[in-house]
Structure 1
């Protein structure tokens, strides 16, 4: 005995879109000041690939410095990888959601 059950596996289908509610409106006290808006507008101009490339360069330099025995330089530049990737995520979010 086989049971034929159709499941909607696409959460963005027309049927699923009807169930979503609109996001709440931000309150006036949560608005950003002009400096933040300026920084977000300028950050959106930087390509996301720049941060990814810079983090790979830091990883490569850190590995090379570690293999050549320069431990301080390797650890110093190795700590740059995570902040560079976070800055890349930030710029991607600003591009996707826009400055508010």
Structure 2
């Protein structure tokens, strides 16, 4: 059976990904958590105003904000090309 896994240092990210990660790694992780909580609060307020469609639309933003926060945290801890950038 063939092993298709990528070994550390075998693949590199492109310049666009590196530029995005350099910019987003400067954003504190709490910003993403605050954005998720704010979207939930706004969703509840729309629900209280009986604007159900808008409440559902905005309420669904919480999960992507939390996923972006996880990605941000992983980039800060490991980087995209962590195996290549580590000193020998």
- Give the match for residue 7 of structure 1: none
Alpha-carbon separation, structure 2, partners of 1:25 and 1:88: 24
What RMSD in Å do the two structures reach over aligned CA positions? 1.1
Determine which structure has the larger helix proportion and give its number.
Answer: 2
Residues matched between the structures, number: 75
What 5-or-longer segments of structure 1 have no aligned partner?
Answer: 1-23
Q: TM-score, normalised by structure 1?
A: 0.70
- Give the match for residue 8 of structure 2: 25
- The one of the two structures with greater contact order (alpha-carbon pairs below 8 A, sep at least 6) is 2
Q: TM-score, normalised by structure 2?
A: 0.79
After TM superposition, which residue ranges in structure 1, 4 or more long, deviate above 6 angstroms? none
Alpha-carbon separation, structure 1, partners of 2:13 and 2:36: 29
Alpha-carbon separation, structure 2, partners of 1:56 and 1:43: 19
- Give the match for residue 74 of structure 2: 93
What 5-or-longer segments of structure 2 have no aligned partner?
Answer: 1-6, 82-88
Alpha-carbon separation, structure 2, partners of 1:86 and 1:63: 21
